[in-house]
Amino acid sequence: MTVKKVGILTAGGLAPCLSSAIGSLIESYTSKAPDVEIICYRAGYKGLLQGDSFVVTPAIRDKADVLKKHGGSPIGNSRVKLTNVADCVKRGLVQEGQDPLHVAAERLKTDQVDVLHTIGGDDTNTAAADLAAYLHDNGYELTVVGLPKTIDNDVIPIRQSLGAWTAAEQGARFFENVVAEHNANPRMLIVHEVMGRNCGWLTAATAVKYREMLDELDFLPESGLSRERKEVHGVFIPEMHFDLEKEAERLKGIMDEIDCVNIFISEGAGVDTIVQEMESRGEEVPKDAFGHYKLDAVNPGKWFGKQFAEMLGAEKTLIQKSGYFSRAAPSNAADLDLISTCADKAVDCALAGDGGVIGHDEDQGDELRAIEFTRIKGGKPFDIDQPWFDDLLKGIGQPKGEAVAVEHH
């Protein structure tokens, strides 16, 4: 199949790779296949359903590198599940009686798109796979080539998802300032809630990055400026069991000694326990279009803060969430290299008609390839037995808990 026209869309939540990925795809097509027309759908699948797109002009191509210097997604995102018909009707994206898959497929046919690049997580890319299958069954061949975007770094079987390294670095920079709030009140408990619905990788990686930043600082303990007061004292993630009372006893000892405690938690840590508690009070816990609990309603940071505050005798508890700060950042150097490599591979695969999600395939020796959509899944658990995580826990004096299986909420 000769590729004459490609479409690009970004979907789901933000990550520090979207703008850079768009720029890298445009640059790669301009270099390898300059005659291929490129269009971008605004606001993800919403734009596809509504036929809202624009053409990538020569002026955009000439300055595509500018996109790599910014965070967010200039073409816009949305959370739309094409197989959730009721939600699409409710939001006015399709009419009653219409099948969103059919509407999206007809739009791609009308726009004469040969290749669709989807930049998103597992939901985004599996939705694109449904689209490709639907079109194939109806006599229209479309190659879908996805790029894996999620700061959770939890896409099976992809070694490293785009934007996750940057998110960890930015989360650490966020806490670098927040931690000084321990000076504002005696017996201060600071809870740093990090994004990660089912996977603790980002929380752990953020803590490691933050401690590397501490390594670069000078301290003056005689004045009260000590590393101990800026240290991470506890890391709590969905994949590792911990005894709340024992951890509280350990952390209370730290509080008694240095007058503050700083903990990092994944936003998905303890969700099942918190939901059960809420439902036992007769509260209904809302879900999004994909059936996930809305974590702002569950609010794990607040729950953990309350539990620990009472047991540590904290006078003040500060709960800070770095998610929106970190996920909207421009890509760092490491991510830019990964994004550029994956975008080049995505264009090569697109021109060859090889569909899938581009990534280093952990089940095939970390080969960079178009991974079959049927093998793409979310909720890859963080491996707590990795040496760097062991080093983190040893460095902060936290006992390692047993690994636990995590349900994909």
306 inside domain = yes
DSSP state of 16: T
Range of weakest confidence among 29-33, 125-129, 178-182, 259-263: 125-129
H helices present in 138-226, as ranges: 164-178, 201-215
* Model pLDDT, residue 139: 85
Rounded Cα–Cα distance for residues 343 and 12 (Å): 19
Quote the distance between the C-alpha of residue 74 and its chain's center.
18
Q: Is 122 annotated as belonging to a binding site?
A: yes
Helices vs strands, H then E, count in the chain: 16, 11
* Per-residue pLDDT at 57 exceeds 80: yes
> Are residues 42 and 84 located together in one domain of the fold?
yes
Residue of higher predicted confidence among 134 and 178: 178
* Model pLDDT, residue 66: 98
Question: Is 354 among the catalytic positions?
Answer: no
Report the residue count for the chain: 409
> Are residues 341 and 302 located together in one domain of the fold?
no
* Per-residue pLDDT at 409 exceeds 50: no
Q: Is 326 annotated as belonging to a binding site?
A: yes
* Model pLDDT, residue 140: 85
Q: Is 197 annotated as belonging to a binding site?
A: yes
Q: What percent of the chain has pLDDT over 70?
A: 92
Cis ω for the linkage preceding 157 (within 30 of 0): yes
Output the six-digit token pair for 117. Answer: 């690049």
Q: What is the pLDDT of residues 360-372, one digit of tens each?
A: 999 999 999 999 9
Residues 228-242 as b/e (b if ≥16 CB within 10 A, e otherwise) read: ebbbbbbbbbbbbeb
Range of weakest confidence among 65-74, 123-132, 361-370, 389-398: 123-132
> Are residues 341 and 313 located together in one domain of the fold?
no
* Per-residue pLDDT at 295 exceeds 70: no
Q: What is the pLDDT of residues 171-180, one digit of tens each?
A: 999 999 999 9
* Model pLDDT, residue 292: 58
> Are residues 292 and 306 located together in one domain of the fold?
yes
> Are residues 142 and 176 located together in one domain of the fold?
no
Q: What is the pLDDT of residues 222-256, one digit of tens each?
A: 999 999 999 999 999 989 888 888 999 999 999 99
> Are residues 257 and 277 located together in one domain of the fold?
yes
Q: Please choose, from the candidates 32, 13, 14, 35, the residue with its C-alpha nearest in 3D space to the C-alpha of residue 24.
A: 32
CATH code (residue 216): 3.40.50.460
Rounded Cα–Cα distance for residues 316 and 280 (Å): 28
| Domain extent for 369 | 5-161+331-375
Q: What percent of the chain has pLDDT over 90?
A: 76
Residue with tokens 């709590």: 236
403 inside domain = no
Q: Is 293 annotated as belonging to a binding site?
A: no
Q: Is 151 annotated as belonging to a binding site?
A: yes
> Are residues 97 and 173 located together in one domain of the fold?
no
Q: Determine which one of 114, 123, 152, 361 is catalytic.
A: 152
Q: Report how many domains make up the chain.
A: 2
Distances (CA, A) of 400 to 198, 247, 252, 254: 19, 11, 18, 18
> Are residues 101 and 122 located together in one domain of the fold?
yes
> Are residues 389 and 270 located together in one domain of the fold?
yes
